[in-house]
Amino acid sequence: MSVQPRRTLAQVKAYVPERPGCAIDLSDNTNLFGVPPAAAESLRDVTAAAITRYPVAYVPALRQAAARYFGVEPERIATGCGSDDVIDCAIRAFVEPGEKVAHSDPTFSMVPVFARLNGCEPVAVPLRDDLDVDADALLATKAKLIYLCSPNNPTGTTVSRASLEKVLNGATGVVLLDEAYAEFARENFLARALERDNVLVTRTMSKAFGLAGLRVGFGLGAPALVVEVEKSRGPYKITSIAERAATAALTRDLDWVRTNATEAREVRERLVDGLRRQGLAPLPSEANFVMVPVPGAAEVSERMREQGVQVRAFTGLTKIGDALRIGCGPWTMLERCLAALEEART
């Protein structure tokens, strides 16, 4: 007899990462400027107790450090094994199986996956022609949870304040605002979101903070929302080692984070110039990556790989078509990327 998985899994494919092993890997938007020093230092003297005993449930030291960084009370912060985990737990906490999760298209590809895994129905709403979110169409879905991402992965574009206000004022369920790239953007909506009792903002240590391998993310919102997210998550999702390094980074690496985020923004604009000089029309980005429409992106990226530069290729994206997404690392990497792209297109 063959074992059948739950029906909800039939529509879900296992995540297939890009092939590894490229000299310059600009494909996943992580921090390419190095490791935050205080976080690295904190890992050098890990005690036996930190390994043999369970972590303290709901990581109070990390929540305290995060509370200071975000300027909110610890009761307003849920933690997770990456913000991926927080998104998954929020869907499970607030959306019944069979109910809808609305999201823009294109956006973070894990959102429809998490919706399906939780037995919910993902509803994709195309971005408008100006690449802002379509607030009216999102609201018209009457979804139990509306997911917004600003700056948006993979486009790098932001949600306008007007569209955000429209969604906040019209939503009847939970609004989840994913700000994984907030540190690279001109403004963020955390303070505005925290005025509402139905909005959860997710943040991560994986991008500007350079700790993707440790898997630490946050959900910020009203204490009543935070409690439900943590209930649906369970107690020991953050390891004591991740807690230790993330707490150190949030306390002692803020200058490092700001300096590298500033540099990422500067090289992003140089990259945009370089792409324009090749006759391309990159999308306006406020993240640490740039999306640039390129016909035949899959083949172009393969030819770039052969030259030792990995970028992420997308085909047939709604409103955009074929495109490359290029992470912003030190300028020497981006110079090599621009040269490889030019070569790959000729």
Ligand X SMILES: *Cc1c(COP(=O)(O)O)cnc(C)c1O
Check binding of 153 to ligand X (CB under 6 A): yes
Provide the edge-to-edge strand list for the sheet that holds 199-204.
Answer: 77-80, 217-220, 199-204, 174-178, 145-149, 100-105, 121-126
Residue 54: φ, ψ to 5°: -65, 150
Contacts of ligand X in 7-46 (CB under 6 A): 29
Residues 6 or more apart whose Cβ sits within 8 Å of residue 205: 211, 212, 214, 216, 217, 246, 249
Q: How far is the CB of 149 from ligand X (least distance, A)?
A: 5
Task: Look up tokens 């005993």; give the residue.
Answer: 53
Would you give the binding string for ligand X spanning residues 162-201, x where CB under 6 A is met? ----------------x-x---------------------
Q: Quick one: 42 or 153, whose CB is closer to ligand X?
A: 153
Check binding of 157 to ligand X (CB under 6 A): no
Q: What is the CA radius of gyration of the chain?
A: 20
Q: Quick one: 100 or 207, whose CB is closer to ligand X?
A: 207
Q: Determine the residue with CB nearest ligand X.
A: 82
Selected from 25, 84, 88, 253, the binder of ligand X by CB under 6 A is: 84
Q: Quick one: 180 or 245, whose CB is closer to ligand X?
A: 180
Task: Look up tokens 């030291």; give the residue.
Answer: 61
Selected from 31, 155, 157, 204, the binder of ligand X by CB under 6 A is: 204
Binding piece for ligand X, criterion CB under 6 A, among 76-84, 136-144, 244-252, 257-265: 76-84
Q: How far is the CB of 206 from ligand X (least distance, A)?
A: 3
CA distances from 97 to 7, 11, 93, 193 (A): 12, 15, 11, 26
Beta-bridged to residue 148, according to DSSP, are 177
Q: What is residue 210's three-state secondary structure?
A: coil
Contacts of ligand X in 102-131 (CB under 6 A): 108
Beta-bridged to residue 312, according to DSSP, are 325
Binding piece for ligand X, criterion CB under 6 A, among 82-90, 166-174, 192-200, 269-277: 82-90
Q: Quick one: 80 or 274, whose CB is closer to ligand X?
A: 80
Selected from 206, 247, 285, 301, the binder of ligand X by CB under 6 A is: 206
Binding piece for ligand X, criterion CB under 6 A, among 11-19, 204-212, 231-239, 271-279: 204-212
Q: Quick one: 207 or 237, whose CB is closer to ligand X?
A: 207
Beta-bridged to residue 203, according to DSSP, are 218
Residue 214 CB burial class (10 angstroms; 0-12, 13-18, ≥19): buried
Residues 6 or more apart whose Cβ sits within 8 Å of residue 48: none
Q: Tell me which residues touch ligand X (CB under 6 A).
A: 29, 82-84, 108, 149, 153, 178, 180, 204, 206-207, 212, 217
